[in-house]
Chain A
Amino acid sequence: MPALAAHALTRRFGSLTAVDRASFTIERGEIFGLLGPNGSGKSTMIRMLCGLLRPTSGEAEVDGIDVVRHPDLVKPRIGYMSQRFSLYRDLTVHENLQFYGQVYGLRGVRLRSRRAAVVELLGLADYLDRLAGLLSGGWQQRLALACALLHEPRVVFLDEPTAGIDPVARRQLWDLLFELSAAGTTFLVTTHYMDEAERCTQVAYLYLSRLVSCGKPADLKALPVVHPPQTRWLRLESPQSSRAYVLLQQTPGVLRATIFGEALHLLVEETLDAARLSAMLRAEGLSSTEPVAVEPSLEDVFVALTEEHAAERR
């Protein structure tokens, strides 16, 4: 039995379709990344899967239970951390944990031991008497995660858990997710960060309310639309990357170019001589490293998928 299964899940708001026939399956212990631009339907999807929002049509099962028919049975089995810090700012860390523990039906010894466990797990011990509203962003996220994990949920939904927190806290949060997923907890995470997406066991990309792709990062990179036959991906670095980008785009044999800071990812025809590219750039007065063969990044994948999808719509 998968931890989560959505089948043709659809939600319309009036004439607007926020999520259009999304189907996917998440196995137990997976970290499932849900990506997509703002407004693509990620939050609507999560809200439907949590039982907050009734789908217009379609089905979803969480931990084997039909969310549409029995949202109240699903609630004790899931944890949810929303995009915005949404615990009680005027309660202390301890009081927030106590409240959510009780609301999830924990009491007595079990409440105490679970509280101690999440405090230990997230390192909140020194902050117990601090008002939640006075914590920094990273610590607020930890508290929110602690509250979401208190009742040992089988499936945890994290809506942009790392938005606006520092890189160290971000890394620590992900380490924690791996630890918990190894122990059998399933996570559905939305994010804008590609490096986070690369760490997911499975990623899905939502574009204009449609789930345009879903799979393991490696499988997505091997999709024909990302990696057409008789082509290869190259990477070169140049301090003047934006000027290099303009030149390379006009170069015959270069099918696609993307900038990553000083680096450029290029999809080129297999027959194209890589050495000629750097020579051409140097001739134009730009410094450049020799191009090397690379795997496409997930960002390359999503750009390719988005373009293909947009073309289909037209």
Chain B
Amino acid sequence: MLHGLRAMVYKEAIQVRRDPATRIVFVVPVIQLLVFGYAIDTEVRHVPTVVFDADRRSASREFLSRFEATGVFTITGEAADPSGVRAAIVSGRAKVGILIPARFSDDLLHARAAQVQVLVDGSNNTIATQTLAAANGIALQAAAALLPARGLRAPIDLRPRVLFNENMESANFFVPGLVGIILQLTTVFLTAFSIVRERERGTMEQLMVTPVSRWALVLGKVLPFVAIGCIVSLVVLGLMVFLFHVPIQGNQALLLALSALFLVPSLGLGILISTIASNQAQAMQLGFLVMLPSVLLSGFMFPREEMPLVIYGLSCLLPVTYYIEILRGIILRGAGMADLWPQAAVLAVFAVVIFLGSTRRFHKRLA
């Protein structure tokens, strides 16, 4: 059944090594990660901030100066009253508002919890999460610095409020999601191109008159890209951990195992594209047809919960949607198989259906 598989894999490996495009396959994900990753990072600097300080004493001034010292916030204006802060955010002049009540200094002095309200523009998830995290950190530190007395509970009580977008997602979600997108991009395109090229050049027909088995043909084409996919995911995950300091909270072996599972439907999509496209330009277009919804609808960029029902339904049909949930679960929340089995199960179903379906089409197209 697998007659000729070894020869196929060996031949494919030589071709992959010799193909100048292969180098791009390793370089592009790194560049994508850097560009996307740092694009996010630069956004959460110098966030325009409007303050309303009803206290106006040294404690409140010092507290506010700590916000600027982090570099995350830039105080761009002072509002005359609380509604002015809100108006500044509504108008887009500021993304963050800080409201300090008149009794801030007194409360601190008497070791009472001093309330500070932080308003955040939630329309940009990334900014919202990062600024809230930063504000929380500042509040904790300031409490320790401003209060010499110890053993007091939460002296600065930060009351965050997200405006316009209550169901906010963490910015850290971006980088793990990117791992899924890059992995899919690499495998779908490589597989589709490699098969279409073989058809374009007539070598597929030459292969079909040999006794090479059809399964050996498919697996021989796909296995080298499984290897490449694994290497690419390791590189991207490594960059994520060491460059973007997003540690993997959960089980790394589980992460790799489920990543391998995700490769199957991805490669299947590549094969599917190759059965539809008759040349590499068409394969490219079809590849983007898969990649665009994968980027826009998978929850990678926009929270799926807020999508219209039809779009939400579409997003359920994308394998990468589930993989991104798995990635975020394991990397950020330390989730295990007990939490992620539904996603893993859907992915397994996709793996079987897409891979078998596309190889069937592939075999049919050969006949």
Does the CB pair B209–A102 fall under 8 Å? no
Which of B18, B205, B209, B367 contacts A75 (CB under 8 A)? B209
Does the CB pair B4–A102 fall under 8 Å? yes
Kindly provide the distance from the CB of B13 to the nearest chain A CB, expressed in whole angstroms: 11
Give Cα A82–Cα B203 distance, bound, in whole angstroms. Answer: 9
**A91 in contact (CB, < 8 A):** yes
- Per-position binary interface string of chain A over residues 53-90, scored 1 when its CB falls under 8 Å from any chain B CB and 0 otherwise: 01000000000000000001001101010101111111
Chain B interface helix/strand/loop/mixed: helix
- Find the B residue at minimum CB distance from A84: B202
Give Cα A87–Cα B208 distance, bound, in whole angstroms. Answer: 12
Does the CB pair B207–A78 fall under 8 Å? no
Which of B4, B11, B209, B212 contacts A88 (CB under 8 A)? B11
Give Cα A91–Cα B207 distance, bound, in whole angstroms. Answer: 15
**B46 in contact (CB, < 8 A):** no
**B249 in contact (CB, < 8 A):** no
**B15 in contact (CB, < 8 A):** yes
Give Cα A78–Cα B208 distance, bound, in whole angstroms. Answer: 12
Does the CB pair A86–B206 fall under 8 Å? yes
**A50 in contact (CB, < 8 A):** yes
Residues A91-141 near B (CB distance < 8 A): 91, 95, 99-100, 102-105
Does the CB pair A90–B18 fall under 8 Å? yes
**Known contacts A82-B206, A99-B11; is-contact A104 B211 (Cβ 8 Å):** yes
Which of B14, B15, B207 contacts A103 (CB under 8 A)? B207
Chain A positions within 8 Å of B210 at CB level: 75, 100, 103-104
Chain B positions within 8 Å of A54 at CB level: 367
Which of B10, B205, B211 contacts A72 (CB under 8 A)? B211
**Known contacts A72-B211, A82-B202, A100-B210; is-contact A90 B19 (Cβ 8 Å):** yes
Chain A positions within 8 Å of B15 at CB level: 88, 90-91
Give Cα A100–Cα B18 distance, bound, in whole angstroms. Answer: 19
**B7 in contact (CB, < 8 A):** yes
Chain B positions within 8 Å of A86 at CB level: 201-203, 205-206
- Find the B residue at minimum CB distance from A91: B14
Kindly provide the distance from the CB of A103 to the nearest chain B CB, expressed in whole angstroms: 5
Does the CB pair B202–A105 fall under 8 Å? no
**Known contacts A54-B367, A78-B209, A86-B205; is-contact A105 B3 (Cβ 8 Å):** yes
Chain A positions within 8 Å of B205 at CB level: 52, 82, 86
Contact size class for A? 20 to 34
Chain A positions within 8 Å of B57 at CB level: none
**Known contacts A88-B11, A99-B11, A102-B7; is-contact A52 B202 (Cβ 8 Å):** no
**B93 in contact (CB, < 8 A):** no
Which of B8, B11, B209 contacts A52 (CB under 8 A)? B209
Give Cα A105–Cα B7 distance, bound, in whole angstroms. Answer: 10
Give Cα A258–Cα B210 distance, bound, in whole angstroms. Answer: 43
Chain A positions within 8 Å of B201 at CB level: 86, 89
Give Cα A51–Cα B208 distance, bound, in whole angstroms. Answer: 9
- Per-position binary interface string of chain B over residues 197-222, scored 1 when its CB falls under 8 Å from any chain A CB and 0 otherwise: 00001110111111110000000000
- In this complex, the member of B4, B15, B203, B210 whose beta carbon has the largest number of chain A beta carbons within 10 angstroms is B210
Kindly provide the distance from the CB of A13 to the nearest chain B CB, expressed in whole angstroms: 14
Residues B171-208 near A (CB distance < 8 A): 201-203, 205-208
Does the CB pair B212–A103 fall under 8 Å? yes
Kindly provide the distance from the CB of B323 to the nearest chain A CB, expressed in whole angstroms: 32
Give Cα A23–Cα B202 distance, bound, in whole angstroms. Answer: 28
Chain A positions within 8 Å of B367 at CB level: 54
New contact pairs (18) apart from A87-B206, A91-B11, CB-CB < 8 Å? A50-B209, A51-B209, A54-B367, A75-B210, A75-B211, A82-B202, A82-B205, A82-B206, A84-B202, A86-B202, A86-B205, A88-B15, A89-B201, A90-B15, A95-B14, A99-B11, A102-B7, A105-B211
Give 17 CB contacts A-B under 8 Å: A52-B205, A54-B367, A75-B211, A86-B205, A87-B203, A89-B201, A90-B14, A90-B15, A91-B14, A91-B15, A100-B210, A102-B10, A103-B4, A103-B7, A103-B210, A104-B210, A104-B211
Residues on A facing B (Cβ under 8 Å) = 50-52, 54, 72, 75-76, 78, 80, 82, 84-91, 95, 99-100, 102-105
Across the A-B interface, the 9 shortest Cβ-Cβ residue pairs: A86-B202, A102-B7, A80-B209, A86-B206, A103-B4, A75-B211, A99-B11, A103-B210, A103-B212
Residues on B facing A (Cβ under 8 Å) = 3-4, 6-8, 10-11, 14-15, 18-19, 201-203, 205-212, 367
